């Protein structure tokens, strides 16, 4: 009878893709790294971090994912096929593209120039937050320890220099008492739920004027907030659980329309807990 040959046991957390071989161009380098406990843990935690970032839409500007893909590509050189059509290169390009496109900004706490609403309208939206929360939908009510206010953002950015924005807009009325009528419900990619005010000529003109002043001072933000691309909205939830989506839309429709007037404005940098009234 032929003798059975057992393959050597493989540690369940050993990053096999980093082992390389003597024949590979960088096999010696990666073979020296593979099998070490600290490398195993870094590799697996790195994969967990990349997967979590893609699922949650957070931290996508960190280049670690693309670097890991390039390292796995390098460990396999030379490739039998086109080295630049390898799946690791494709994944690395996608991750870099997501970072450059600002993907995930909606699910992260960012800085914004916010327009606040009159007390009656604010109370109605807060009541809607409560109803959504009771239906199992996480809402803006629970952000910033309850200090988050219903608002419409004129500009959003990874960070904003509050005093710099105030200086750029000096002499300009920001909290213009615009009349807003929230008439419809919307959803951004990632199941971000929001109420939309009718985009009146006055609202769009004010938005464009603010952006012109900020651009003149070299202050810019996310492309989706620029004139011509901006969709005015008041965010209700950053991520609606899919099974709750229809219930959430129904609850929103039950309270519309909401009449509101702009009464105040501020630069709110949520990540740094900075608030500058305008």
Every domain of the chain and the residues it spans: 16-100, 105-277
For residues 153 and 203, is the Cβ–Cβ distance under 8 A?
no
105-277: which CATH architecture? Answer: Alpha-Beta Complex (3.90)
CA angle 107, 111, 116 (to 5 degrees): 100
Distance (Å, whole) CA 216 – CA 27: 53
pLDDT, tens digit only, all 278 positions of the chain: 555 555 555 455 455 555 544 455 555 566 666 667 776 777 777 777 776 666 655 555 555 566 767 767 666 666 666 666 666 677 777 766 665 544 444 445 589 999 999 999 999 999 999 999 999 998 988 766 667 899 999 999 988 999 999 999 999 999 999 999 999 999 998 789 999 999 999 999 999 999 999 999 999 999 999 999 999 999 999 889 889 999 999 999 999 999 999 999 999 987 778 899 99
For residues 77 and 26, is the Cβ–Cβ distance under 8 A?
yes
Q: What DSSP designation does 197 have?
A: E
Q: 195 has which bridge partners?
A: 185, 234
User: What are the start-end ranges of the H helices in the chain?
Assistant: 27-33, 37-56, 64-75, 87-100, 119-134, 162-168, 201-216, 245-255
């Amino acid at each position: 009878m032929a003798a059975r040959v057992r393959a050597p046991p493989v540690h369940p957390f050993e990053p096999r893709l980093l082992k390389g071989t003597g024949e590979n161009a960088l096999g010696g380098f990666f073979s020296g790294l593979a099998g070490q406990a600290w490398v195993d843990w870094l590799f697996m935690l790195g994969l967990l971090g990349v997967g979590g970032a893609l699922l949650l839409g957070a931290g996508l500007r960190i280049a670690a994912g693309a670097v890991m893909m390039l390292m796995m590509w390098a460990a396999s050189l030379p490739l039998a096929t086109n080295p630049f059509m390898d799946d690791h290169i494709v994944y690395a390009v996608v991750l870099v593209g997501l970072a450059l496109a600002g993907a995930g900004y909606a699910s992260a706490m960012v800085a914004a120039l916010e327009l606040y609403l009159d007390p009656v309208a604010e109370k109605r939206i807060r009541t809607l937050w409560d109803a959504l929360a009771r239906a199992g939908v996480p809402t803006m009510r629970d952000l910033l320890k309850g200090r988050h206010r219903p608002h419409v953002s004129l500009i959003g950015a990874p960070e904003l220099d509050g005093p710099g924005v105030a200086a750029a807009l000096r002499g300009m009325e920001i909290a213009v008492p615009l009349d807003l009528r929230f008439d419809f419900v919307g959803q951004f990619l990632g199941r971000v739920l929001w109420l939309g005010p009718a985009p009146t000529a006055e609202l769009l003109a004010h938005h464009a004027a603010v952006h012109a002043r900020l651009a003149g001072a070299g202050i810019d933000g996310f492309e989706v907030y620029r004139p011509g691309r901006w969709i005015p909205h008041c965010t209700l939830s950053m991520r609606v659980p899919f099974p709750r989506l229809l219930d959430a839309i129904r609850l929103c429709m039950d309270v519309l329309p909401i009449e509101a007037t702009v009464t105040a404005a501020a630069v709110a940098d949520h990540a740094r807990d900075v608030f500058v009234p305008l």
